[in-house]
Amino acid sequence: MKKKALVLGGGLQGVLAAFKLDKIGFEVTIVEKSEKLLNRASRVNEGKIHLGIIYANDKSFDSAKYMMKSAMCFDTMIEEIVGERAPWQKWLSAPFYYIKMKSSLLSVKELDDFYDKINEHFDEVYKGSSTYLGTSPKWLIKKLDYIPNYLNSDFVDAVWETNELSVEVNKMNAWILEKLNKCDSIKKEFHCEVHDIAKNKDGFKVVANQNGTEIELESSLVVNCTWEDRLNLDSKLKYNPNHNWTFRLKHALNGILPKKIKNIPSLTFVLGSYGDVVNFKSTSKSYVSWYPEGMTDTTEQIKVPKEWENVCNGIVDDPKKAKKRITDMLQGFNEIIPGLVDCTSVDLCAGVIYSRGTPYIDDINSEVHQRFKVGIIHNEDGYLSIDTGKLTSAPLHASELGKILN
Residue 131 domain-assigned (yes or no): yes
Asked if 32 contacts 217 with a C-beta cutoff of 8 angstroms, the reply is no
Q: The domain that contains 397 carries what CATH number?
A: 3.50.50.60
Same structural domain, 267 and 362: yes
Same structural domain, 35 and 135: no
Same structural domain, 135 and 248: yes
Q: CA separation (Å) from 361 to 72, 294, 358?
A: 27, 13, 8
Same structural domain, 143 and 198: no
Evaluate if residue 369 carries a pLDDT over 80.
Answer: no
Q: What angle do CA 93, 96, 100 make, to 5 degrees?
A: 155
Same structural domain, 347 and 283: yes
**Strand ranges in 259-302 using DSSP code E only, listed in sequence order:** 266-270, 275-279, 285-290, 295-299
Residue 357 pLDDT class (50, 70, 90 cuts): confident
Count of other CB atoms within 10 angstroms of residue 320? 8
Asked if 100 contacts 158 with a C-beta cutoff of 8 angstroms, the reply is yes
Same structural domain, 264 and 311: yes
The confidence score (pLDDT) of residue 37 equals 96
Evaluate if residue 282 carries a pLDDT over 90.
Answer: no
The confidence score (pLDDT) of residue 365 equals 72
Phi, psi of 173, deg, nearest 5: -60, -40
Give 80's contacts (C-beta < 8 A, 6+ positions apart): 399
Single out the residue of 365, 357, 353, 370 nearest to residue 65, CA to CA: 370
Same structural domain, 385 and 339: no
165-186 per-position pLDDT tens digit: 999 999 999 999 999 999 999 9
Give 47's contacts (C-beta < 8 A, 6+ positions apart): 93, 166, 167, 168, 169, 172, 278, 287, 391
The confidence score (pLDDT) of residue 175 equals 97
383-395 per-position pLDDT tens digit: 999 999 999 999 9
Q: How many helices, marked H, and strands, marked E, lie in the chain? A: 10, 18
Q: What is the mean pLDDT of residues 218-223?
A: 96
Which of 92-96, 199-203, 387-391 is predicted with the least confidence, judged by mean pLDDT?
199-203
What domain range is 83 assigned to?
Answer: 62-167+244-369
Residue 333 domain-assigned (yes or no): yes
The confidence score (pLDDT) of residue 187 equals 97
Residue 47 domain-assigned (yes or no): no
**Strand ranges in 27-101 using DSSP code E only, listed in sequence order:** 27-31, 96-101
Q: What percent of the chain has pLDDT over 70?
A: 99
Same structural domain, 250 and 318: yes
Total domains present in the chain:
2
Same structural domain, 207 and 259: no
Question: Using CA of residue 81, residue 87, residue 91, residue 97, what is the dihedral sign?
Answer: positive
Question: Mutual orientation of helices 74-82 and 169-181 as an angle, nearest 10°?
Answer: 20
Single out the residue of 176, 158, 159 nearest to residue 167, CA to CA: 176
Residue 49 domain-assigned (yes or no): no
Q: What percent of the chain has pLDDT over 90?
A: 87
Distance from C-alpha of 134 to C-alpha of 142, rounded to nearest angstrom: 21
Residue 48 domain-assigned (yes or no): no
Asked if 62 contacts 387 with a C-beta cutoff of 8 angstroms, the reply is no
8-39 per-position pLDDT tens digit: 999 999 999 999 999 999 999 999 999 999 99
Evaluate if residue 121 carries a pLDDT over 90.
Answer: yes
Distance from C-alpha of 371 to C-alpha of 398, rounded to nearest angstrom: 17
Residue 120 domain-assigned (yes or no): yes
Same structural domain, 347 and 261: yes
Q: The domain that contains 67 carries what CATH number?
A: 3.30.9.10
Asked if 268 contacts 262 with a C-beta cutoff of 8 angstroms, the reply is no
The confidence score (pLDDT) of residue 316 equals 81
Distance from C-alpha of 350 to C-alpha of 295, rounded to nearest angstrom: 9
Distance from C-alpha of 311 to C-alpha of 363, rounded to nearest angstrom: 27
Single out the residue of 23, 39, 28, 30 nearest to residue 8, CA to CA: 30
Asked if 14 contacts 176 with a C-beta cutoff of 8 angstroms, the reply is no
Same structural domain, 118 and 263: yes
Residue 338 domain-assigned (yes or no): yes
Residue 359 pLDDT class (50, 70, 90 cuts): low
Residue 51 domain-assigned (yes or no): no
124-137 per-position pLDDT tens digit: 999 988 899 999 99
Same structural domain, 140 and 258: yes
Mean pLDDT of the chain: 94
**Helix, strand, coil % over all residues of the chain, rounded to 5:** 30, 30, 40
Which of 72-76, 80-84, 93-97, 242-246 is predicted with the least confidence, judged by mean pLDDT?
242-246
For the question of whether the overall pTM of this predicted structure is more than 0.85, the answer is yes
Q: Bigger pLDDT: 1 or 389?
A: 389
Evaluate if residue 74 carries a pLDDT over 90.
Answer: yes
Single out the residue of 221, 218, 255, 219 nearest to residue 334, CA to CA: 255
| Three-state secondary-structure class, residue 133 | coil
The confidence score (pLDDT) of residue 44 equals 87
Count of other CB atoms within 10 angstroms of residue 195? 14
